Amino acid sequence: MLRSTLLALLGLALALSSPLQATTRATDYPGSVALLMEMPAVRSDLGLSSSQIAQINGLQRELKSRSEAILTKSAPVATGPASDLRLFALIDDSNAKALELLTPLQFARFSEIQNQVLSYSMLVSPQVQKKLKLSREQSASIAVLRIRGLEFVAKTNRSFGSGSISPKKRVEILRDYRIRQAEEIKSLLTPAQRTAFAALCGKPLSKS
Q: For residue 181, is it within any domain?
A: yes
* pLDDT in the model for residue 7: 52
What is the rounded CA–CA span in Å between residue 110 and residue 108? 5
Q: Is 55 a domain residue?
A: yes
User: What is the rounded distance in angstroms from the CA atom of residue 89 to the CA atom of residue 13?
Assistant: 19
Distance CA 133, CA 128 (A): 8
Q: Give the model's pLDDT for residue 73.
A: 61
The SS3 assignment for 49 reads coil
Does any domain span residue 39? yes
Overall number of domains in the chain = 1
**35: pLDDT confidence band, cut at 50, 70 and 90?**
confident
- Rounded to the nearest 5 degrees, what angle is found at the Cα of 47, between the Cα atoms of 52 and 111? 90
Residue 79 in any domain: the answer is: yes
Q: Which position has the higher pLDDT, 158 or 25? A: 158
DSSP tag of 39? S
Tell me: pLDDT of 149 over 90: no
Contacts of 196 (CB under 8 A, 6+ apart): 131, 132
Does 208 map to a domain? no
Domain of 119 in residue numbering reads as 2-200
Mean pLDDT of the chain: 82
The residue with greater pLDDT, 129 or 149, is 129
Measured distance CA(71)–CA(53) in Å, rounded: 27
pLDDT for 15 beyond 50: no
Q: Is residue 29 part of a domain?
A: yes
